[in-house]
Structure 1
Amino acid sequence: MNGSSNVDQLRSPLTPTSSRKLPFNRRSIITTITLCAVAVSVIRLVAYIYYSAKLQDQPVLTLPDQALDDLLLPAYCSAIYYLLTMAAISATYTAYTQWQQRQLELQREQTFLRSTPFSTFSTMCYRYLETSFSIPLVTARTTLRSALVVLAIALLNLLCTVYPESPSQAHTSNRTGYLSIANFALLIPLSIRSLGWLPYDKAISWHRVFAVLAFITATQHGCYHLSERLESLEPIIESSRHITGITSLSIVGLMLLTAHEIVRANQYSWFRTLHLTLFLSLTISATLHNASFLTLNFVGIAAWLGSRISRKLQAPPKVVSIHSTGRITHVTLEHSLKDMTAGQFGYLGVRGPGFTKYGWARPFSFSGIHSQMEGIASNVEEKEPGEAKTTISRLHLQQDTHQRPGFHHESSSAQVPDEQTVNSIEHGRGDEPASKADHPSNLVDLHIHSRGTFTTALLKAASQQDLESKTPNQVHMELDGPYGTPWLSTAKHYYTDFELALFVCSGVGITPWLAVMQHIATKSRSSRTRNVHVIWSIHEPDTYDVFNPRIFSLLKQSSVTFHIHVYITGHHSTLPSAFSDAITFHSGPPNIDLYMTELKEKNPDIDVGVGVCAYEMMEQTVDELVHSSRFSDENARWWIKKELFRI
């Protein structure tokens, strides 16, 4: 089906065919924002020097800890004003997004999802505010909109510090101290996975932002007090409040250093254990320093503990099927999770031989969501991610006997999968007879590539387990989820809202989009999607062999037109043979710019849903193209979702 023949499904005939280029350069805007951030830091430093110089002649005896009681209320109020302002901003943003979602629901009931062109202002905001960039040693990728929000929150902290003018340096010190506690009151609830009103992948990003702000304000608080006693440190050493304050600040600094993305990515278990230990130590130390820490954070800490306890208690035993192909482990779980949507992820924990006794769960995308009686358990209705946990009491480990030793054999990629394999894929498991599937049960698939210690141990367990073993409980699994934002916008646009969908992935990055494509295929009658394009870059054909049966099952059951382009970048003699005209093999890396340009030329006036799960350079290329004037203008917009784990 041609994309240009179905333009009216997403726009009215009144939509103009010309667009105007926006006169601003994204690079200059990013540079300006960076300079503003530096300016904020300079302003805070100048404010500190100003108050230190202004009050340097005051005697030390006027600033002891016990003489600060009369300054307690104003400093405490500054923190309260800050929290109330943040609450008002959050409530306003929530109300706005809910209004957007209601408008989208009304549009879905109409013939045209979008009957009017985008305004120039809306297009400019989308192209510039949603563009992403990296900050070295700080964050891998962030959007300009997020950077502006962080800058605004930093300015709010500065405003609460210096306004109204403080009567003394001790008063300013108290303000920064209570602002640090207030930032902790915001960051602790944001670490809760089942927060409800904010998806976990979004919440954990803001958790890190407020952690940095808490450390900055706490450092200011300490600097103000230390500057009062520059001639002698003896009063500091003798005061228990100063000792606990320095200890708390040191703990927060250590938490920030050990929580850096480099540490999280390479030593995840060590990071989780150390982070939890330091947090408990900080709670004790900060409470001893000032009881207000526990007062403001009691609700957040209680909610965090309650969330962890509920995940531990909700663990019914279920059945697991595991088998490996090459370096990829395929796990199928029968779960009790609710409100799952294709495009989300879950935390998988494993205990048993080869795994640590108290190991931490890792996040993995769902590659398939099934129901034995209903076909698929996900939907695109407006639902918040639920939470559940599954403990596995028995499993079957299956060694893949069709694993290809080398490319030149061209085994599975050149053949149509057998009927038994396809039926196993469609029912979500391959090791139990159909007679056992006489009642509805939800199944979820995960495809895990072996890279680190955890995934290598999982691959080893799947490949070395004796298939004839009757011993149960050798490996226990826990599944916590679902989490993540499957939507492409705050209004909750989903891929079924677009006539054309494009997925760009590399290696096992196809896993989240397999679940989405499965959803599109099973909901083809009720969705607007008619064409799905896939750009899949892999190093060796073995990766394709793992997903070959699932792709065959997908094409078999769908009335949607698929265009799957597989690019093999490794050394090879010949290209595999495809079992369907919908699959095309290429040698070498993909030319994403050329492919997307041709797609845009064939479909110039329709909105497109784009999904990316690839290495950073490919993700950055797609993101820049989507937000450029060539693809997103007043006539049409390319929406994008990037599947990137920041564990």
Structure 2
Amino acid sequence: MKYKRDYSVLQGYVASLFTVYFCMLGYIWWQRKNKPARQVLGESSVAVWRRTWQCRWRRWLGYEWQWMNTTMSLGRIICVCVLVGLNTAQLLRARRIADDNNENENDDVALALGQVQRDIYQQEMANRTGQLALVNFAVAVALSARYSILLRPFGVDKTRIWHMWFARVGSCCTLFHACYQFVRNYARQEHDLWLTLTSNTRYFTGFCMMAATVVLFAGAHPLVRMLSYRLFRYLHITAFGVMVLVSFLHHWTFALFYVAVVGVWFVDQLQQYGVGTRQARLVAMEVLSGKVLKLQVQPSYSHKNTLTPGQFVFLSLKSSRLSSWLHAHPFSVARLDACTDIKTAEDNETDQVNPFATANRSYSPYLEADSRQAVLTFYIKSIGKHTTAWHKLAQTADVSTDIPIVISKPLGRPLLDAAGRGYGDFEQVVLVAEGIGITPWISVLQYMEQQQYHVRTKELVLIWSIRDTEMLHAFADELSRLTKSIHLQYQIDIYLTRLSGIEEGHPSIRHSHIQCGRPDYASLLEDVRSRCSQIDVALGMCAHEETIRTCGNIARSAKYSHGYSQWVIHNEQFQI
């Protein structure tokens, strides 16, 4: 009896993942081909029935709840179970052990053969989990890409989630494989731990990759990312580098891993930091109230047809390529202005009409500026060590000094559904923000300002929760300028969650209502629903998970989403 090496698990799992991938591409293509047209009254009963069942499925599968500090839904659980099921099916497929035992052997021989067969079975399971771990980590590496054309239809927000789940499943498979090999070699080396881990190249490289997996798993915890984004990047880059350096010495099948690394990840990094990233010129750097930094930079690349509202870029105040790669941080683009059109607060009072907000200009899905080189505006909240250092630099440095800034090309696909609809495709738009989360919605407001004669949007509601008026002072000029030039019907509800009374002299914004306390999202969204019960509504959220979960469940309920009206949900979260 002997064990025959085979790689059918690796081949079968790769084939099944490619099948799922092409099915998802086909679904997205079909959705965009049948993109919903403008809804009209008197739709056929078949269309209403179909939309009703779509809303029911979304309500059942998309209802979210919190479990062990993680937001879960039935739909996500089913998808994760499918992923685990694919791994389990490959693990438990038909055994490939050559059984040479003779039925006429005596009991002692049969017992010995049974032990050998059990050992071979365990070895087969360990090798299969090793192959599954290899494929899962290769897919996780591929899903970490941001510019890859293979992942562009899905968007960064979706690929990031599945990057984490493939890595988690791969970690579990790695643990099983490593435990079996450790126990097996531990007995051979007479229970010497050091010899067990370093007896040959395969065991030593396996130990290094297992240690790297532990670092990746621990470093990906949300607490690490929240406390220090820089530490999160350092741990990921270091552990990933260890796996790249030693994996090929472990086994030749890691060539598949290198295909994902070189063919997808390395090309993506080259596009992002080699070709896509450029030096930028610092135009303005101003410290606002509420520990908010207003940063305006002029990138060296052309902005034409590159920036859509809601996108973000990676910024770094480092001069070298390597330092900018290590210390890059994602920030939402708040505005796009012409290089010679940077306005002060006094200019905003007189300039109330955007030159793009005319019916003579053609429709464009991008933010525009009448200049070959445009200026990007960012609002950065001082939270961690990284952003606090920027604030201190802004307080002491002179704008005229040569401060190195490296900026990537815009990232993200802020589309609301698989059909490729944006905020301008909906007659009613509701935006929910908390704190600095208003930043991506400023770009949406600017887009509505520029394209107000071309978009379908007729009414816009902004619900903004902040602790006190300091944050309001920081964004008052920006919101005032936008609201003066937007001729759509709009409403801004501002909530001060840490104050019992509104202080005198607070900034005034047109059509805004400032209140103290926390917002009652149920009543606020009900007020919107009562005015648009027969049209589709776009709901965008950039807030804490609890708020996103609450508003999302309300929008999915039968009262809001049904055959005649559907609330399409999109949220912005930086967990990259």
**For this structure pair, what is the TM-score category when the shorter chain's length is used for normalisation?**
0.7 to 0.9
1:290 equivalent in structure 2: 251
Please state if 1:202 is matched with 2:158.
yes
Distance, in Å, in 2 between the alignment partners of 1:157 and 1:422 is 63
Alpha-carbon displacement from aligned partner over 1:357-390 (angstroms, at most 9, x marks no partner): 87511111121234569x9xxxxxxxxxxxxxxx
Distance, in Å, in 2 between the alignment partners of 1:82 and 1:425 is 57
1:550 equivalent in structure 2: 478
Provide the alpha-carbon RMSD of the alignment.
3.1
Distance, in Å, in 2 between the alignment partners of 1:113 and 1:192 is 45
Q: Would the alpha carbon gap of residues 242 and 598 (structure 1) be closer, same or farther in structure 2, given more than 3 Å must change?
A: same
Mapping of residues 581-592 of structure 1, within 5 Å? 581-592=510-521
Q: Would the alpha carbon gap of residues 579 and 230 (structure 1) be closer, same or farther in structure 2, given more than 3 Å must change?
A: closer
Distance, in Å, in 2 between the alignment partners of 1:362 and 1:114 is 47
2:451 equivalent in structure 1: 523
- Percent identity, aligned pairs only, is 23
2:377 equivalent in structure 1: 445
In 2, are the aligned partners of 1:611 and 1:642 still within 8 Å (CA)?
A: yes
Distance, in Å, in 2 between the alignment partners of 1:114 and 1:543 is 45
Q: Would the alpha carbon gap of residues 607 and 228 (structure 1) be closer, same or farther in structure 2, given more than 3 Å must change?
A: same
Please state if 1:79 is matched with 2:10.
yes
Alpha-carbon displacement from aligned partner over 1:212-268 (angstroms, at most 9, x marks no partner): 111111222233444556755449453432332233222212221122111122122
Mapping of residues 397-436 of structure 1, within 5 Å? 418-419=346-347
Distance, in Å, in 2 between the alignment partners of 1:291 and 1:119 is 51
2:359 equivalent in structure 1: none
Give 1:439 deviation, angstroms: 4.1
Give 1:534 deviation, angstroms: 1.1
Distance, in Å, in 1 between the alignment partners of 2:287 and 2:211 is 45
Alpha-carbon displacement from aligned partner over 1:556-602 (angstroms, at most 9, x marks no partner): 22220111111122334535566555112212222211111122123
Give 1:136 deviation, angstroms: 2.0
In 2, are the aligned partners of 1:201 and 1:483 still within 8 Å (CA)?
A: no
One-letter code of the match for 2:172? I
In 2, are the aligned partners of 1:370 and 1:444 still within 8 Å (CA)?
A: yes
1:484 equivalent in structure 2: 412
SS of residue paired to 1:445:
strand
2:105 equivalent in structure 1: none
Distance, in Å, in 2 between the alignment partners of 1:114 and 1:214 is 48
2:23 equivalent in structure 1: 92
1:182 equivalent in structure 2: 135
SS of residue paired to 2:37:
helix
Distance, in Å, in 1 between the alignment partners of 2:450 and 2:458 is 12
One-letter code of the match for 2:240? F
Q: Would the alpha carbon gap of residues 576 and 533 (structure 1) be closer, same or farther in structure 2, given more than 3 Å must change?
A: farther
2:543 equivalent in structure 1: 614
Please state if 1:318 is matched with 2:285.
no
Q: Would the alpha carbon gap of residues 200 and 481 (structure 1) be closer, same or farther in structure 2, given more than 3 Å must change?
A: farther
In 1, are the aligned partners of 2:309 and 2:440 still within 8 Å (CA)?
A: yes
Q: Would the alpha carbon gap of residues 456 and 422 (structure 1) be closer, same or farther in structure 2, given more than 3 Å must change?
A: farther
Distance, in Å, in 2 between the alignment partners of 1:215 and 1:587 is 47
1:37 equivalent in structure 2: none
1:502 equivalent in structure 2: 430
SS of residue paired to 2:463:
strand
In 2, are the aligned partners of 1:575 and 1:585 still within 8 Å (CA)?
A: no
Give 1:539 deviation, angstroms: 1.6
Distance, in Å, in 2 between the alignment partners of 1:114 and 1:257 is 52
Distance, in Å, in 1 between the alignment partners of 2:262 and 2:545 is 36
**Among candidates 195, 199, 203, match of residue 242 of structure 1:** 203
In 1, are the aligned partners of 2:280 and 2:297 still within 8 Å (CA)?
A: no
One-letter code of the match for 1:161? L
**Among candidates 261, 268, 271, match of residue 229 of structure 2:** 268
Q: Would the alpha carbon gap of residues 266 and 311 (structure 1) be closer, same or farther in structure 2, given more than 3 Å must change?
A: same
Alpha-carbon displacement from aligned partner over 1:378-414 (angstroms, at most 9, x marks no partner): xxxxxxxxxxxxxxxxxx9x9x9xxxxxxxxxxxxxx
Give 1:500 deviation, angstroms: 0.9
One-letter code of the match for 1:205? I
**Among candidates 325, 334, 349, match of residue 316 of structure 2:** 349
Distance, in Å, in 1 between the alignment partners of 2:126 and 2:545 is 42
Task: Return the TM-score normalized by structure 1.
Answer: 0.74
One-letter code of the match for 1:100? Q
One-letter code of the match for 1:257? A
Give 1:156 deviation, angstroms: 0.5
One-letter code of the match for 2:163? H
In 2, are the aligned partners of 1:425 and 1:553 still within 8 Å (CA)?
A: no
Distance, in Å, in 2 between the alignment partners of 1:444 and 1:642 is 22
One-letter code of the match for 2:547? M
SS of residue paired to 1:89:
helix
One-letter code of the match for 1:529? T
Give 1:142 deviation, angstroms: 4.4
SS of residue paired to 2:547:
helix
1:330 equivalent in structure 2: 294
SS of residue paired to 1:481:
coil
Q: Would the alpha carbon gap of residues 208 and 617 (structure 1) be closer, same or farther in structure 2, given more than 3 Å must change?
A: closer
1:29 equivalent in structure 2: none
Please state if 1:220 is matched with 2:183.
no
Distance, in Å, in 2 between the alignment partners of 1:425 and 1:334 is 23
In 1, are the aligned partners of 2:66 and 2:72 still within 8 Å (CA)?
A: yes
SS of residue paired to 2:409:
strand
Distance, in Å, in 2 between the alignment partners of 1:316 and 1:525 is 36
Give the gaps of 5 or more residues in structure 1.
Answer: 1-57, 63-67, 376-395, 401-416, 429-436
In 1, are the aligned partners of 2:467 and 2:497 still within 8 Å (CA)?
A: yes
1:303 equivalent in structure 2: 264
Q: Would the alpha carbon gap of residues 523 and 114 (structure 1) be closer, same or farther in structure 2, given more than 3 Å must change?
A: farther
In 2, are the aligned partners of 1:610 and 1:639 still within 8 Å (CA)?
A: yes
SS of residue paired to 1:300:
helix
One-letter code of the match for 1:366? V
Q: Would the alpha carbon gap of residues 585 and 293 (structure 1) be closer, same or farther in structure 2, given more than 3 Å must change?
A: same
Distance, in Å, in 1 between the alignment partners of 2:42 and 2:284 is 41
Please state if 1:541 is matched with 2:497.
no
In 1, are the aligned partners of 2:484 and 2:510 still within 8 Å (CA)?
A: no
Alpha-carbon displacement from aligned partner over 1:410-462 (angstroms, at most 9, x marks no partner): xxxxxxx533577599799xxxxxxxx98432332211111111111111222
SS of residue paired to 2:34:
helix
Distance, in Å, in 2 between the alignment partners of 1:173 and 1:113 is 61
2:63 equivalent in structure 1: 131
One-letter code of the match for 1:194? Y
Distance, in Å, in 2 between the alignment partners of 1:219 and 1:646 is 26
How many pairs does the alignment contain?
520
Q: Would the alpha carbon gap of residues 442 and 573 (structure 1) be closer, same or farther in structure 2, given more than 3 Å must change?
A: closer
Alpha-carbon displacement from aligned partner over 1:269-307 (angstroms, at most 9, x marks no partner): 122122212212122332211121134423533432233
Give the gaps of 5 or more residues in structure 2.
Answer: 98-119, 357-368
Q: Would the alpha carbon gap of residues 496 and 426 (structure 1) be closer, same or farther in structure 2, given more than 3 Å must change?
A: closer
Distance, in Å, in 1 between the alignment partners of 2:510 and 2:281 is 39
Q: Would the alpha carbon gap of residues 566 and 514 (structure 1) be closer, same or farther in structure 2, given more than 3 Å must change?
A: same
1:570 equivalent in structure 2: 498
